Amino acid sequence: MIEALVAVAVLAILTSVALPSFMDSIRKGRRADAVAALAAVQQAQERWRSNRNAYTTELTAEPDDDPPGLALPDASAKGYYAITVDDADATGFTTTASAVAGSSQASDGPCARLRIRVDGGNVFYGSAAVAGDFDESAANPCWAR
């Protein structure tokens, strides 16, 4: 009986150590969903800009709509992130992937929101917690480079 209790105690300790690490790995892997969606927006924006004099904030509108848009979904492919185009003008745009509230990605700490900002031909990669300022430093751990 003692051996069984010791085995259960060891299992509980291992689980308490391994489970948070496992969940962090899962969240990190799911960031690829946001990165893919943001890359699709970036590519669509560059195609858009090659035919017009400015970028657009219209993400989901079709090209024939009034106003026309990029015809992209406002959610990532696997649904972990909501996608928005926050700002756009003749020289750049900002697009953000925000973890869906209530999902495990919402607890991804400083990586709950990922952002690409294009400004004058320069691309900046940022991340932020659910509430907070974006970190666009080169050492940002949320973007694998």
**What confidence tens digit (pLDDT) does each residue in 44-98 have?**
999 999 999 999 999 999 989 999 999 999 999 999 999 999 999 999 999 999 9
Spatial neighbors of 14 by CB under 8 A, at least 6 apart, are none
The pLDDT of residue 10: 79
pTM over 0.75: yes
Neighbour order of strands in the sheet with 113-119: 81-88, 92-99, 113-119, 122-128
Backbone phi and psi for residue 49, each to the nearest 5 degrees, phi listed first: -65, -30
The pLDDT of residue 145: 62
What whole-number distance in Å separates Cα of residue 83 and Cα of residue 34? Answer: 8
Which has the minimum average pLDDT: 3-17, 58-72, 109-123? 3-17
pLDDT band, very low/low/confident/very high, at 17 (cuts 50, 70, 90) = confident
Grouping H, G, I as helix, E, B as strand and the rest as coil, residue 130 is coil
Contact criterion met (CB below 8 Å) for 83 and 76: yes
